[in-house]
Chains A and B, each alone.
Chain A
């Protein structure tokens, strides 16, 4: 009996070693690396709006995921309306960029209204109330979208296939160089993610409002004392954050493993929280690094799940474990300042 168990252990162990050798082979490692970068790019997109808003205003926006979901539907709608069957690949990319700009504008406007109408009246209350308020917004917004979407005969629970189908053929293919295979979509996502990081970084470091944001994150009262209209900076940053959330949604509308659907709201909100908390609430650099870590872990664990471990939830569970371990080891996150987000 004991021998059998030992034999079983030995089999598992040798299987593990085989899988490990397989994993560390250049082609697998390269594929996982690219996959991880693509996921990291998505996580940056999902989380950076959240971190900008929290860093400056101390508001943990629970409606962020819902806004991403709205962005996915709006972007999908624009693409479905504009792209016909004869539309070529390059035109589709251009249409995509057009959808990105439009959705950014629409959601930024929505975000501005949200901030002025709902969040501004409760800045002086404990941070708990801002969580509560945005949580209520999420409930109402999700249900509203569900009504609208099912009214037009689209299944709200599963991904919106028509939006997925507007993707150019070139992005659906896989490309192989030197044994490493990469999906066209993954490369596109990496490119888009890098562009977004550069754009946000440039905004924060090169523009006047970026300076206000960085200063306001350090000490909002001092910024106001220096004569800056902090209220307007708040509104602008909140609009920017929701705009970025919307853009992330447009990008996800093309990804078959996410897609536009109502549950996308919760599916993106939780990873966004994880990334933002691991990086340290309110630091953009931390968010980028954390997105890298989470993306790589996700890709690695997905590979292990597909090849060795028989547990579907492995990637998701590991991500939340990283959150818990980070908070235990470094409560303020990787780059966070301990006072931010406290009681």
Chain B
């Protein structure tokens, strides 16, 4: 948690060097060239993510396809990584930057998801199946904001462990409520699904049909002949459209972190009493940060609902959903904003590699194809064959290995992947990379 202050400083210095050295060198580049130079890393990452479905389909059709099928996450999994990554980023926005562990963050994620589905099923006045999905996303986010203001107003009188516990309490009240409330559906314990709308949820500019694409594995749009040559399956279209929302949300949060408001958030984490002593009304700042964070958590939940078209109390409101965001944040780096996305990508990759369901590859199908029946049937101990051993100890049990890894990270890499890299290179990676290009 001590990564912030130097990070903040170095990005400031980077800005100053950019401003002062450029005219001296006599280069007067257009603003967009300068802008692109400052964001080289962002552009590279986005380009890589944009190319991922293409790379994936290229590699899994190559001669070494089996290895890649086993190791690379499927595009469908990547969609999950994107929207849950957004949730994890929103969790990091409040927990990593103000230091207040929002353990009940699942409440906002669940609110967004439930709102989208309930609104589509016609449970609320004024919104229905014909309301644009983008509008539902924003409304769901705003509902989460309203909830966050109520919860935050009561919770920010506390700090430390007590804050974590009271937010956990609120989210569990909502979880039990939604789980047993017959209003949401006929079997609330099993979750709810979209019944009021057969077509997919569209992301794009509301009202302009040409600028909308539907998401969902079965209900999404397929695109053929984009720019003449490219074709995309519905899952790939979902990946791009969800990715677009996540990207916009990420830059919005990043912008806030780098604004004076964000600086006060970091000040609160580093020393709240001092921040108050200089005259900041820290309660308002905390509440504001909490509300912003809830908004993006609500958006992430709405994306989950839009893509999966169903949600259960366990996948929306349960406290372990916030636990997964915590996991992603610790692996990726607390207080790095982008880190949780990578953390969750890592988590999902391991889980899929060891998944039991098959379908998209993973360890067991790979070994089955390549080790040969004799090796797989070799007895290891007391009638336990190799295949059974893998099935028992590896497949479907990724949580064990992720848990052990998590403990090791807390002990030895406390700043997470991105946080450690930042410490090593003395600044956010995008400013470091930008410096190389000057």
Contact of B161 among A122, A127, A146, A311 (CB under 8 A): A127
Q: Tell me the interface secondary structure of chain B in the complex.
A: helix
Give B131-179 interface residues, CB cut-off 8 Å to A: 154-155, 157-162, 164-166, 168-170, 172-173, 176-177, 179
For the complex formed, measure the closest distance between the CB of B162 and the CB atoms of chain A, giving whole angstroms.
6
| CB-defined contacts of B162 to chain A, threshold 8 Å | 277, 281, 327, 331-332, 341-342
Question: Once the chains bind, are B176 and A317 in contact (CB under 8 Å)?
Answer: yes
- Interface: A22 (CB within 8 A): no
| CB-defined contacts of A187 to chain B, threshold 8 Å | none
| CB-defined contacts of A343 to chain B, threshold 8 Å | 99, 159-160, 272
Give A297-331 interface residues, CB cut-off 8 Å to B: 311-313, 316-317, 320-321, 323-324, 327-328, 331
For the complex formed, measure the closest distance between the CB of B192 and the CB atoms of chain A, giving whole angstroms.
16
Chain B's closest residue to A312 (CB) is B180
| CB-defined contacts of A125 to chain B, threshold 8 Å | 414
Q: Which of A12-20, A27-35, A134-142, A243-251 binds B?
A: A134-142
Q: Which of A161-169, A252-260, A266-274 binds B?
A: A266-274
| CB-defined contacts of A270 to chain B, threshold 8 Å | 168, 172, 319
| CB-defined contacts of A328 to chain B, threshold 8 Å | 154, 157, 166
Contact of A129 among B180, B392, B414 (CB under 8 A): B414
A122 touching B411 in the complex, CB below 8 Å, given contacts A140-B404, A343-B99: yes
Chain B's closest residue to A58 (CB) is B161
- Interface: A131 (CB within 8 A): yes
A324 touching B173 in the complex, CB below 8 Å, given contacts A136-B403, A137-B407: yes
Could you tell me the distance between the alpha carbons of A274 and B165 in the complex, rounded to whole angstroms?
Answer: 8
Contact of A127 among B158, B160, B181 (CB under 8 A): B160
Could you tell me the distance between the alpha carbons of A327 and B160 in the complex, rounded to whole angstroms?
Answer: 13
- Interface: A133 (CB within 8 A): yes
- Interface: B1 (CB within 8 A): yes
Question: Once the chains bind, are B323 and A327 in contact (CB under 8 Å)?
Answer: no
Contact of A324 among B159, B170, B400 (CB under 8 A): B170
Could you tell me the distance between the alpha carbons of A57 and B402 in the complex, rounded to whole angstroms?
Answer: 27
The interface size of chain A toward B, counting residues with CB under 8 Å, comes to 48
Could you tell me the distance between the alpha carbons of A141 and B401 in the complex, rounded to whole angstroms?
Answer: 10
Contact of B160 among A132, A317, A342 (CB under 8 A): A342
A131 touching B164 in the complex, CB below 8 Å, given contacts A137-B407, A324-B169, A327-B169: yes
Question: Once the chains bind, are B160 and A341 in contact (CB under 8 Å)?
Answer: yes
For the complex formed, measure the closest distance between the CB of A279 and the CB atoms of chain B, giving whole angstroms.
12
Q: B99, B160, B164, B323 — which one has the most chain A CB atoms within 10 A of its CB?
A: B160
- Interface: B434 (CB within 8 A): no
Question: Once the chains bind, are A320 and B414 in contact (CB under 8 Å)?
Answer: no
Q: How many A-B residue pairs have CB under 8 A?
A: 127
| CB-defined contacts of B406 to chain A, threshold 8 Å | 132, 135-136, 139-140
Question: Once the chains bind, are A147 and B392 in contact (CB under 8 Å)?
Answer: yes
Give A118-155 interface residues, CB cut-off 8 Å to B: 118, 121-122, 125-129, 131-133, 135-144, 146-147, 150-151
Give A232-247 interface residues, CB cut-off 8 Å to B: none
For the complex formed, measure the closest distance between the CB of B24 and the CB atoms of chain A, giving whole angstroms.
43
| CB-defined contacts of B397 to chain A, threshold 8 Å | 143, 146-147
Query: Chain B interface residue count: which class?
Result: 35 or more
For the complex formed, measure the closest distance between the CB of A130 and the CB atoms of chain B, giving whole angstroms.
9
| CB-defined contacts of B393 to chain A, threshold 8 Å | 147
For the complex formed, measure the closest distance between the CB of B412 and the CB atoms of chain A, giving whole angstroms.
9
Question: Once the chains bind, are B399 and A142 in contact (CB under 8 Å)?
Answer: yes
- Interface: A60 (CB within 8 A): yes
Chain B's closest residue to A129 (CB) is B410
Q: B164, B179, B411 — which one has the most chain A CB atoms within 10 A of its CB?
A: B411
A320 touching B173 in the complex, CB below 8 Å, given contacts A125-B414, A133-B407, A270-B319: yes
Could you tell me the distance between the alpha carbons of A342 and B273 in the complex, rounded to whole angstroms?
Answer: 13
For the complex formed, measure the closest distance between the CB of B410 and the CB atoms of chain A, giving whole angstroms.
5
- Interface: B330 (CB within 8 A): yes
Interchain residue pairs A-B with the least CB separation, the first 4:
A139-B403, A140-B403, A136-B406, A143-B400
Interface residues of chain A, those whose CB is within 8 Å of chain B, are 60, 118, 121-122, 125-129, 131-133, 135-144, 146-147, 150-151, 266, 270, 273-274, 277, 281, 311-313, 316-317, 320-321, 323-324, 327-328, 331-332, 341-343
6 contacts between A and B (CB under 8 A): A60-B161, A118-B411, A127-B160, A132-B326, A144-B400, A341-B161
Interface residues of chain B, those whose CB is within 8 Å of chain A, are 1, 99, 101, 154-155, 157-162, 164-166, 168-170, 172-173, 176-177, 179-181, 272, 319-320, 323, 326-327, 330, 392-393, 397, 399-400, 402-404, 406-407, 409-411, 414
Supplied contacts A321-B173, A328-B157, 4 more A-B pairs, CB within 8 Å: A118-B411, A128-B101, A136-B404, A139-B406
